[in-house]
Structure 1
């Protein structure tokens, strides 16, 4: 083969690197890396042919690396131990695998782990993840309960059996996962997220029985705590016993002391609810009976009043008053009419006295000329042979003037 490109960026489809060359380049690059301190958990520990081989898994994510070491370097370490390892990366060209060659192991002590958890607790508390106003109220009677627990665990039995003893119709969506060890964080987080995405699930219970502080460490893991904090569905946590306090307890919407306590919290007791309903019905019935009795007594008291015993009493007084007013009105009208009649009679007498008819009745007459109807007031107003109309008290007649008389002077 012709000369190979010196750098990877110079390779082309016409001038590629052979696999052996790339593997050698990677090995060369990795060989330049210095030793590094790595933290993780020991799994799959095997000793053979005078060497120890193990897998070092990340405590938070599903990531692992192969490690080899002299057995004497391991000391008393066992699977599941939380360690800090000083190792040198090595790339095996033929197999194309990366491996760490460890020369020192240090176990992470319980005190240091607890100190880390306390520091994480303060950080999360400062972010407000543990605040009471973030807590969501649990439903009174969920139709479906999501349960995250260990495989064939007593915690599952305690939750399911006690919940169904309280409310037989409750349904469960159960996710059995690892609740300790290196897979616990990933599996519990995935199960919680799956149940939170199910619209039928109204509350999620994360349950585990008691255990050592090391066994409960996954439930203080930051990624799991944040996964529960992000849930829209209310979460009930029942991890360990009364004295255990992983960080998951602080972020959950309700912290149960035991799985049995969680079962009592997520569903009501059907017997107790029936008793409450019976008591409530009794109280309501008694209240209604007392109300009706009181109203009946008040109605009887109202009916016993004289005005209702003899309702006509209420109007008799008004009837008498109306009769009196009517009599007064009649008397007043009669008096007014009598006075008016007397006035009319008096005025009529005055009119009659002043009337021309009265004068005529005394023997006087009214003379009018027939020609023009003018009243004759003097003899000078008529001439001989004039026709006149004479009006007397009881009629009238015509006459002819024979000769007007000479009017007499008056003194």
Structure 2
């Protein structure tokens, strides 16, 4: 049976020194490299010719251990301190004695302001293209927040300004304070943690991220991509007050409201009790004045309506109509009476004429009407119609008599 290769089984392991040397040989073949980051820690021991530096990636929670000659630190083109952005050239190195890795640096260069601004501008264009600056995503600030989340440096002027101005404007305001580092390599991580903590608190209605003025390097954490994306993810409205009026870090563009100064942030977040009271008083006065004007206007309108004849003397029109009706009735009655009288006279005249022309009037003058009784009471018109023995009925003015004809006188 073939014996397994060394290091491939527990029966034939490599000793520590061999593994350490193999790792060192592999790392040594990597060659030199340029690296950029922020100095998170700098340790220059007085009795040592080597300086120890922790170089941090500002966009991620990662770091490298750096070693370099002490003179390289003292002769650097910019004063090295925590938070300084630098570019280093070195070779990866593995120390077999301690089993540790570091980057042995032989050159240190500072990142110029122009390069920093150019990088910020490139990041601004990237975030803008992704829509993080879209005004439609901005959330409104509540009129009166129950609790204001405040992220700022410990005992900073920004903290004092915001709290004093807010309490002067609205004494009952409450703060959820989170003190963090506001510059340097650890600032972004602490600010992001505080932001997540306040955003997860249901009592916090608005979050204020504040810092006083400073150089471009001091304000670099507030243009960090991680912080900008974290602000965009917050469900609670975020107000930024970074630096002074000319300062404009990228987080101002992502935030829901950008305040020029910390004092301005306090004024935007908390209403002024005196101003609100004055506004309420003014609105009450305006409402009362508007109500009085409306009542006066309606009263004037009602007065105008009441002054109109139809309402001032509602029976006048009826009286006028009643008088017209009375006159019309009188006229109609007069005309009817006149017509009746005329017709009555006409009837009287006709009656008189009829009476004059009627048989009764003739009989009254001595005439008589002779009728043949046996002939159906026919009127006797000829003597030949009444021979002797014919019964006759003679009608005179006051009645009628019956007689018997003796014949015509000519017959005798």
Conserved in 2, the CA contact under 8 Å of 1:177 and 1:184? yes
What TM-score does the superposition give when structure 2 sets the normalisation length?
Answer: 0.75
- Please report how far the alpha carbon of residue 186 of structure 1 lies from its aligned counterpart in structure 2 after TM superposition: 1.9
- Name the stretch that deviates more: 107-116 or 348-357: 348-357
Q: 1:348 to 1:266 in 2, by over 3 A?
A: farther
1:62-92 CA distance string (max 9 Å, x none): 2111122222333343333211112222344
The aligned runs of 1:239-318 (5 Å cut-off) are 239-304=242-307, 308-318=311-321
Do the aligned residues in 1 keep the contact of 2:40 with 2:186 (CA within 8 Å)? no
The equivalent residue for 2:60 is: 61
Q: Residue in 1 aligned with 2:104?
A: 101
Distance 1:325 1:19 in 2: 143
Query: Map of 1:187-226 to 2, 5 A cutoff?
Result: 187-226=190-229
CA distance in 1, matches of 2:325, 2:24: 128
Task: Give the TM-score normalised by the residue count of structure 1.
Answer: 0.75
Residue 111 of structure 1 aligns to a residue whose secondary structure is: helix
- The alignment partner of 1:283 has SS state of helix
Match of 1:89 among 78, 92, 98: 92
1:381 paired residue number: none
Corresponding residue of 2:4: 3
Deviation of residue 173 (structure 1)?
2.0
Q: In the aligned structure 2, how far is the partner of 1:344 from the partner of 1:16?
A: 165
In 1, Cα distance between equivalents of 2:12 and 2:336: 139
Which stretch of structure 1 is more off in the superposition, 310-319 or 35-44? 310-319
Write the mapping of 1:321-400 to structure 2, written as runs, cut at 5 A.
321-331=324-334, 333-334=336-337
Q: Distance in 1 between matches of 2:35 and 2:287?
A: 70
- Secondary structure of 1:99's aligned partner: strand
Contact kept, 8 Å, 1:37 with 1:84, in 2: the verdict is: yes
Q: Say whether the 8 Å CA contact 1:62–1:183 is kept in structure 2.
A: no
* In 1, Cα distance between equivalents of 2:369 and 2:21: 176
- Give ranges in structure 1 of 5+ residues lacking alignment: 378-392, 400-404, 406-411
Structure 1 residues 19 and 334: alpha-carbon distance in aligned structure 2, compared to 1, 3 A threshold: farther
Note closer, same or farther for the CA distance 1:312–1:98 as it changes in structure 2 (3 Å cut).
same
The 8 Å contact of residues 45 and 78 in structure 1, kept in 2 or not, is answered as yes
Change (3 A) 1:25 1:325: farther
Q: CA deviation at 1:247?
A: 2.2
Structure 2 residue corresponding to 1:172, chosen from 159, 175, 179: 175
1:50 aligns with 2:53: no
Greater alpha carbon shift after TM alignment, 295-304 vs 241-250:
295-304
- CA drift of 1:291 comes to 3.4
Q: The residue matched to 2:205 in structure 1 has which SS?
A: strand
Structure 2: which 5+ residue stretches go unaligned?
Answer: 380-396, 408-412
Deviation at 1:14, TM superposition (A): 8.0
1:238 and 2:241 matched: yes
Taking only aligned residues, the RMSD between alpha carbons, in angstroms, comes to: 4.6
Asked whether the 8 Å contact 2:83–2:183 carries over to 1, the reply is: no
